[in-house]
A and B are shown apart, each in its own frame.
Chain A
Amino acid sequence: MGKITLKHVNKSFGDVAVIPDINLTIENGEFVVFVGPSGCGKSTLLRLIAGLEDVSAGQIEIDGTDATDLPPAKRGLAMVFQSYALYPHMSVRKNIAFPLKMAGMTEAEQEKKVQNAARILNLTSYLDRRPGQLSGGQRQRVAIGRAIVREPSAFLFDEPLSNLDAALRVSMRQEITELHQTLKTTMIYVTHDQVEAMTMADKIVVLNAGNIEQVGSPLDLYHHPANVFVAGFIGSPKMNLIAGAEAAKHGATTIGVRPEHIDIAAGGPWSGTVGLSEHLGSDTFLKVEVDGIGTLNVRAGGEVNLRHGDRTSLAPQAGRIHRFGADGKALA
């Protein structure tokens, strides 16, 4: 089981409220991603759940029991750290067995569990090596191995892929997702990378300045951002946000259109000059200086042949315009 409930959780360092007040329920078996810009409090929130920091006020419940004052080891959670935090003086085998040894398990039981974890993670042939002799991806797997042998009620990941190169990041991302599908255990995953959030999560929690901006499935957030912050944060390339007269025409303070929802159409309502065009083959990313609006990012098909300085007209797709009020919230 792994249901985690946060009730009015507050965390302050001195006078600074890093997390003013958070209420959140994470269901058993869910893959939840905390995402937000750096300094938004997402890592602090994870450390509060782990028990590595005290909450200043509020309650943390794990599987219905109050865990607020429990030490980290007693919460039944496992954590994978950004730096992997492997014990450099122990072999891979001893690293993975460490939590079992701390729990007082017999050597034979330890070995059985280590072998099992090593098989799942393809680490069997590396068990006698030291962490220093492994590649980044292998170290990552050892860290995960150390977490899974404990059979925790939930896994906590603190930006685990940020130290890997781009290619490895994609494959490890898929491995973790597959692991979740196999184990079906609750996972809480912290990242600043919205692509990781979109691809991995059952449920995304968008954080900003210690507050939850929106909770929902990836597609939910993509299609129905609750406010300007989420609209700008989720999606790549970023949504175009337009204020002023153009927004007023739609009865909003700000309107947003995703680059992929703008068509290049002769006679479209917006016309402008192409500033930059990046031809990727599959897509073409354009920066267009639109008269009276400003720069818009446009994602067009690969065969579009516009160059720097060309004139063009653009048309937003019908029903794809997001409208936001003066308070930044989405208008129905």
Chain B
Amino acid sequence: MARATSPRRKALTTLAAWSVALVIFFPVLWMILTSFKTEPSAVAMPPQLFTADWTLENYAEVWQRSDYPRFFWNSVVLSLGSTLLGLAVAIPAAWAMAFVPGKRTKDLLMWMLSTKMMPAVAVMIPLYLVFLKLKLIDTHIGLVLALMLMNLPIIVWMLYTYFKEIPSEILEAARMDGAGVFKEIAYVLTPMALPGIASTLLLNVILAWNEAFWTIILTTTKAAPLSAFIASFSAPQGLFYAKLSAASTMAIAPILILGWFSQKQLVRGLTFGAVK
């Protein structure tokens, strides 16, 4: 039960909370506003919050100068592909860890997480060479694999925490009812854990979408996603603020929109399943 608070106090906390939220959000807002300005008004001193001569020209030019649809499509393929593949590998593993735990389950889980602690830069060269050898550089399949393996520990861990909330009696009932392991997972566990699986999917799509190390190292053109696209727009000398903002907005807009539409699952996913 929330307790009644005085209207005055509520107004004050509302004001404070909104101020803080706007400060945190402001860089994103400023970027979006700048993307609609002309280059001169983007660097005008003093800065203008809104501009009279707002324009779509920056978007048009970014669109013209680079093959945005291809980068966008690559981002979709890589983030969704790696996450779906990761789920396919991780669901059985998480089932085993959650419902048939052994003495070493916890250690195994921690080991998996610890593989993520290895700095990517440290193994950059060998991995590049391996990819070169296997002809996986700048291919969808290579990047999907790399992103999948990068996020696999997180996926396993999140699924494990969601699965553990499901009483094992229900799975035992399915076993008594004649379901084998795969039917048990397909008909009972997966539907019951659907909200958790959706959260895991969303979060890992975002992590893969925003990944900007391997995607840049291991691609050149064909399979390069939006994170590589934006890298090519960096380092302007003040003159290209509006276009930089437009390109940046285009790179993050899909995820921002996805985030707004799937708030509930996403908020749950963002906690990595670790907090209820």
Contacts and interface: CB of A to CB of B under 8 A. Distances in A.
Asked if A and B touch directly (CB within 8 angstroms), the answer is yes
A47 B180 CA distance: 17
Consensus secondary structure, chain A interface? loop
A232 interface: no
Give the interface size class of chain A.
20 to 34
Contact of B177 (A73, A83, A88): A73
Interface stretch (A95-103, A274-282, A321-329): A95-103
B169 A102 contact: no
Contact of B173 (A71, A81, A103): A81
Give the interface size class of chain B.
10 to 19
B172 A85 contact: yes
B169 A81 contact: yes
Contacts of A77: 176
B179 A85 contact: no
Contacts of A102: 177-179, 183
Nearest to B103: A14
A82 B169 contact: yes
A50 B177 CA distance: 11
Q: A86, A99, A146, A150 — which one has the most chain B CB atoms within 10 A of its CB?
A: A99
A88 B173 contact: no
Contacts of B183: 102
B191 A52 contact: no
Interface in A63-92: 71-73, 77-79, 81-83, 85-89
Contacts of A83: 167, 169
A78 B188 contact: no
Interface in A13-71: 50, 52, 71
Nearest to B167: A83
Contacts of B169: 81-83, 85
Contact of A79 (B176, B179, B180, B188): B176
Interface string B176-219: 11111001000110011010000000000000000000000000
Interface in B22-78: none
A87 B187 CA distance: 9
Nearest to A74: B178
B203 to A, nearest CB: 22
Nearest to A82: B169
A103 B176 contact: no
B192 A87 contact: yes
Given A78-B176, A99-B176, 5 more contacts: A50-B176, A73-B177, A73-B179, A86-B170, A102-B183
Lowest 8 A-B CB distances belong to which pairs? A99-B177, A102-B178, A85-B173, A73-B178, A85-B169, A89-B191, A85-B170, A81-B169
